[in-house]
Structure 1
Amino acid sequence: MEYLHAFSTEHALTLSAGILILAYIFIATEKISKTTVALIGACAVIFLGLVDQEKYSKNGINFEYYINYIDFNVIFLLIAMMIIVSITAKSGIFNYAAARILSLTRGRPALILISLAFFTAITSAFLDNVTTVILVLPMTFAIAEKLEINPLPFLITEIFSSNIGGTATLIGDPPNIIIGSAAGLSFMDFVRELSPIVALIMVAVCALMLVLFRKSLKVSENKTAASMRFDGNDCAVDRARAARSMIVLGLVIAGFACHDAIGMQTSIIALMGASALLVFEKPEEIFRELEWNTIFFFIGLFVIVGALEASGGIKLMADFILDVTRGSQAAASMAILWGSGVISGVIDNIPYTATMAPMILEMEKAMGSEYAYPLWWSLSLGACLGGNMTIIGAAANVVVSENAAKRGYEISFMRFFKYGVVVMILSLSISALGLWLKFFI
């Protein structure tokens, strides 16, 4: 029985592309929640049967056709890491670590800026960027209050550091989770290929921030001495919870490092760690704190991108880049790096990466895995580092700006942009040099 009319391939492609473009527009304008946009787009894709037209025309609407396009490794890895981070944060250990930074730097603003920057970057390599800045923000405001200086230099540097640090590992930033799952790249692959580049970028950006904010980082000796009384003893730490959390987090990261050898997906390793921690907690309290809107955003997005892939749109994009770059691996890599950086500075890097990952897979089919390997790193570096260009380029940027505004410190779009565009160009230039030296010489 045929009870629904199937669209032609051309019409399916047009509809799929139209839904994706509309979703991008609504996500970029932020007039409607991006989760709502993604779910509405996914419902439109399912209702129109844009993934499998033949089955749609014969059997009607059936959700099972779309399951294969949802990357559950990404979904469950996100959920598990949210649980681990939520429980770890409750222990107070991150606030304690940030407080110790103040006493160790003896209240010197330049040293505090560098220390907070590297603390933020390292933490962002293992926790999501939003969680990291939420943990660091209270300590930053407290430090600035003690020193009686404007916190904006610290806050802006922390934004840059969170996005840079998150680039270094598989779990540091959602785009990397998408890339790792799509390309089959391990935790150690990310550490090996990206950590050296990220370390160089951090050093360069910190040096730049010290120059740009040199006038704002001056305080009197009296204020510096007063700040020394503010140390880790001001922070309450649940020692038992902190010990459990750090042991489990350490084991999970170790599992990520050798997941290929043990034959286990990263999501399963993370879920085992999360389950172990939940034994000592009230699950309903932890689940209430999870970012379910992010989870459903990913689910809806995967369905929308799946429709474009099924209709041949992703392959057309891959063929276009191959034609423009004339099959040159180096040219394609640089195009993806700089293109991703600029685009991710304007729109959310998560839907962008979810669209680009299948495209690189198509290029891999055409040119081979060796051709595609550096392209994955170009996508990761571009998508993650591009978020530093504008105040809306990444979720962490928005969180910091909103918190600053509540305390009377406004980070305007243009003020951030004049720093952000310089940081992005510097970061991508170092990335381009690193990729070129590693893969193309």
Structure 2
Amino acid sequence: MHTSRVQPTLSIRALFWLLTILYVFCSAPVSASGVAATHQSADNGPTGQLSVFGKIVNPHGAGVGDAEVTVFLNGQELVPPAGGHGGHGPAMIKTESDGSFQAVFHVPQADIETAIIEVEAYKPSYSREKIKIDGAEISRGDAGTSVRVDVEVKRSQGPAFWIATIVFVLAYILISFELLHRTLAAMLGASVMLVISYTVGTFNPEYHILSYESAIRAIDMNVIFLLMGMMIIVGILKHTGVFQWCAYKCYQLARGNVMMLAVILMSFTAVSSAFLDNVTTMLLLTPVSIEIALSLGISPLALLIPEILASNVGGTATLIGDPPNIMIGSYAALTFTDFVKNLAPVCVVSMVVLFGYTRMVYGGQYKKAHVTDIQAFIAKLREEYQITDANLLSVGLIVMGIVVGMFLTHGVLHMEVSIAALFGAALLFTYGMVTKKIDLLELIEKDIEWTTLLFFMFLFILVGAVEETGLLDIVADWVLNLSHGNLTTSIILILWVSAIMSAFVDNIPFTATMLPIVAYLTQVIPGAESGVLWWALAFGACFGGNGTMIGASANVVTIGIAESAGYPMKFIGFMKVAFPYMIVSVAIANVWLLLAY
């Protein structure tokens, strides 16, 4: 019995001492460092506090985050007393996301008085820069000595730059030509860059493209939450039958006049697209438009293509109408009112031109339409397309009014538009759940387009990667050099380059690529502080989306529905109709920008 009592006690004591020894052993490097520092201080006299702070910037003056900063005093590297890599080895000074840094050192007072201070900055895709601090830049006081250092690091096109550029271009090709689903293509590109950064880049910093923290910071959650909120609102309103009812009313107003019907449908599409996502608008209107066209004896494409053009023009008019505008507004801190004031007049003129253009292109086909009994057809539409839930529609319209009101007061409240959208979605969602008119799982699974939201998130990471490695700086410098810093030339370049590019590649990734470029040009070109370059980008990206059937998401969605209904549209066939109008609308925007600014 005596033995059985002693053994557990010995085991517990042995375990205690073993853990203590391990703790001391693991802590030894830090303790040794501390002792050495103490002896050094004792040998060299009293210590003083040296504070080094400043900012690391790129050649465009933008802060460089996650850059490594090393401080030298009289040729010796200084180690901050706190921290280290998990307690082992020297601590690392890294800049914040805006490029700022600060470090405090305790060094012998004698060394400070005769100090030669040097600061070195380094980050992959940048050259290593080291500068010496002049004595005049050193501030001495009772609290210690402080030094402010701003270091400009130049770009270097190393392995990280070329890998990021190649992956980005390949992802762009996959997205633009639909070789992979765009969400999958963006996810693949983003994950490849991160994996390379944390495998090869761990052993060789020249292969480090971007950090996980930088990737998360690159995602604009204001855009994500705004889209999510509007998807929920539209998804709930869809259950009321209001969009189908509006299509019936359009036909009733036209009274059998097909040209008038086309004008009314285009106007309704443009206005709806200004306040709802234009993809959602076309998803809801396309099936109804096909049915009306077949009843009239004309090709559905004769109504659908003008509606596509109208949706992209109408979506340009407001902050929430088209995804590129949402991205621009969030990035540049522009308000709903700013967009309406600067873009809506051109959209109205472009819509009037679209009416005439549609008559010229499809007028002959509209004349061939025939309805034997117009009143009977109107009665049939009235019976088939009714408001199915008036109460839900009333509450939905009230909530939409509140949300739009918040959008309009954005400049006063300084509240992000995503907050207004999520608030409206929450109110309407709550009403639907309490009254049991909305199925939670159905709304989450079917009405929130998760693939679109994920696409945006991965796309932001892709663009963040090429921004980190310097590709966007090269493009910005090219535009700046080509324009020679002239505002007029810059407006024309951004507008037409954006329009042509957006016609052949999806305007969402192109806009994401251009955002930091336009931001830089707005800062350095005299006169651009008015924000005119942002409007040039908005017009180019949104109007340019009309150029081809893959230029905007609304185009792809509408053509896809028409094709599944048995009415396919060829790429060249669409371009023959849409591209000339795109050129005309962009030219109108060009004149407006040059005259107004």
Would the TM-score normalized by the shorter structure come out above 0.5? yes
Q: In the alignment, does 2:185 pair up with 1:34? A: no
Q: In the alignment, does 2:420 pair up with 1:269? A: yes
Q: In the alignment, does 2:468 pair up with 1:310? A: yes
Which residue in 1 is equivalent to 2:168? 20
Which residue in 1 is equivalent to 2:37? none
Equivalent residue in structure 1 for 2:411, among 260, 283, 286: 260
TM alignment of 1:378-397, pairs within 5 A: 378-397=536-555
Which residue in 1 is equivalent to 2:384? 234
Which residue in 1 is equivalent to 2:312? 163
Residues 168 and 189 in structure 2, CA contact (< 8 A), matched pair in contact too = yes
Q: In the alignment, does 2:349 pair up with 1:200? A: yes
Distance apart, 1:80 and its partner CA: 0.8
Which residue in 1 is equivalent to 2:324? 175
Q: Give the stretch that moved more between structures: 170-179 or 87-96.
A: 87-96
Distance apart, 1:45 and its partner CA: 2.3
Q: In the alignment, does 2:297 pair up with 1:148? A: yes
Q: Return closer, same or farther for 1:91/1:228 CA change in 2, 3 Å cut-off.
A: closer
Distance apart, 1:197 and its partner CA: 0.2
Q: Return closer, same or farther for 1:358/1:426 CA change in 2, 3 Å cut-off.
A: same
Residues 148 and 223 in structure 1, CA contact (< 8 A), matched pair in contact too = no
Distance apart, 1:400 and its partner CA: 1.7
Which residue in 1 is equivalent to 2:59? none
Q: Comparing both structures, which one devotes a greater share of its residues to helix?
A: 1
Residues 329 and 371 in structure 1, CA contact (< 8 A), matched pair in contact too = no
Equivalent residue in structure 2 for 1:354, among 481, 497, 512: 512
Which residue in 2 is equivalent to 1:251? 402
Equivalent residue in structure 2 for 1:119, among 268, 278, 281: 268
Within 2, Cα distance between the matches of 1:127 and 1:217? 29
Equivalent residue in structure 2 for 1:411, among 569, 576, 580: 569
Distance apart, 1:278 and its partner CA: 1.2
Q: In the alignment, does 2:348 pair up with 1:209? A: no
Q: Return closer, same or farther for 1:223/1:156 CA change in 2, 3 Å cut-off.
A: farther
Which residue in 2 is equivalent to 1:72? 221
Residues 167 and 189 in structure 2, CA contact (< 8 A), matched pair in contact too = yes
Equivalent residue in structure 2 for 1:46, among 194, 198, 202: 194
Counterpart code for 2:472: I
Which residue in 1 is equivalent to 2:39? none
Which residue in 2 is equivalent to 1:222? 372
Distance apart, 1:155 and its partner CA: 0.9
Distance apart, 1:175 and its partner CA: 0.5
Q: Return closer, same or farther for 1:313/1:239 CA change in 2, 3 Å cut-off.
A: same
Within 2, Cα distance between the matches of 1:6 and 1:404? 51
User: After superposition, what is the alpha-carbon deviation per residue over 1:287-322, rounded to whole angstroms, capped at 9, x for unaligned?
Assistant: 112111111111111111111212222222111111
Within 2, Cα distance between the matches of 1:185 and 1:7? 33
User: After superposition, what is the alpha-carbon deviation per residue over 1:312-339, rounded to whole angstroms, capped at 9, x for unaligned?
Assistant: 2222211111110111111111111111
Within 1, Cα distance between the matches of 2:197 and 2:522? 27
TM-score normalised according to structure 1 size: 0.93
User: After superposition, what is the alpha-carbon deviation per residue over 1:191-232, rounded to whole angstroms, capped at 9, x for unaligned?
Assistant: 111001001001101111011111111234635454333444
Residues 128 and 172 in structure 1, CA contact (< 8 A), matched pair in contact too = yes
Distance apart, 1:54 and its partner CA: 10
Within 2, Cα distance between the matches of 1:436 and 1:230? 50
TM alignment of 1:64-103, pairs within 5 A: 64-103=213-252
Within 2, Cα distance between the matches of 1:369 and 1:294? 36
Residues 290 and 300 in structure 2, CA contact (< 8 A), matched pair in contact too = yes
User: After superposition, what is the alpha-carbon deviation per residue over 1:98-156, rounded to whole angstroms, capped at 9, x for unaligned?
Assistant: 11111111011010000000111111111112211111112212222332222221011
Counterpart code for 1:283: L
Question: Alignment partner of 2:551: what SS?
Answer: coil
TM alignment of 1:340-379, pairs within 5 A: 340-367=498-525, 370-371=528-529, 373-379=531-537
Distance apart, 1:180 and its partner CA: 0.4
Counterpart code for 1:407: A
Q: Return closer, same or farther for 1:55/1:325 CA change in 2, 3 Å cut-off.
A: farther
Distance apart, 1:42 and its partner CA: 1.2
Within 2, Cα distance between the matches of 1:328 and 1:55? 45
Residues 99 and 230 in structure 1, CA contact (< 8 A), matched pair in contact too = no
Residues 147 and 227 in structure 1, CA contact (< 8 A), matched pair in contact too = no
User: After superposition, what is the alpha-carbon deviation per residue over 1:237-270, rounded to whole angstroms, capped at 9, x for unaligned?
Assistant: 2111111111111110110010121121101111
Residues 318 and 362 in structure 1, CA contact (< 8 A), matched pair in contact too = yes
Question: Alignment partner of 1:138: what SS?
Answer: helix
Q: Give the stretch that moved more between structures: 85-94 or 213-222.
A: 213-222
Within 2, Cα distance between the matches of 1:55 and 1:435? 50
Identity across aligned pairs (percent)? Answer: 38
Counterpart code for 1:321: V
Counterpart code for 2:384: D
Within 2, Cα distance between the matches of 1:154 and 1:396? 15
Distance apart, 1:349 and its partner CA: 0.4
Distance apart, 1:372 and its partner CA: 6.5
Which residue in 1 is equivalent to 2:442? 285
Distance apart, 1:166 and its partner CA: 0.7
User: After superposition, what is the alpha-carbon deviation per residue over 1:165-199, rounded to whole angstroms, capped at 9, x for unaligned?
Assistant: 11111111110011001111101111111001001
Counterpart code for 1:236: Q
User: After superposition, what is the alpha-carbon deviation per residue over 1:372-427, rounded to whole angstroms, capped at 9, x for unaligned?
Assistant: 61111111111111111111111211222222222222211121111111111111
Q: Give the stretch that moved more between structures: 32-41 or 397-406.
A: 397-406
Residues 296 and 371 in structure 2, CA contact (< 8 A), matched pair in contact too = no
Counterpart code for 2:233: I
Q: Return closer, same or farther for 1:62/1:324 CA change in 2, 3 Å cut-off.
A: closer
Counterpart code for 1:43: S
Q: Give the stretch that moved more between structures: 211-220 or 336-345.
A: 211-220
Within 1, Cα distance between the matches of 2:365 and 2:511? 37
* Unpaired runs of at least 5, structure 2: 1-84, 90-121, 127-156, 434-438
Distance apart, 1:56 and its partner CA: 9.9
Within 2, Cα distance between the matches of 1:113 and 1:84? 27
TM-score normalised according to structure 2 size: 0.69
Q: Comparing both structures, which one devotes a greater share of its residues to strand?
A: 2
Within 1, Cα distance between the matches of 2:572 and 2:251? 30
Q: Return closer, same or farther for 1:54/1:312 CA change in 2, 3 Å cut-off.
A: farther
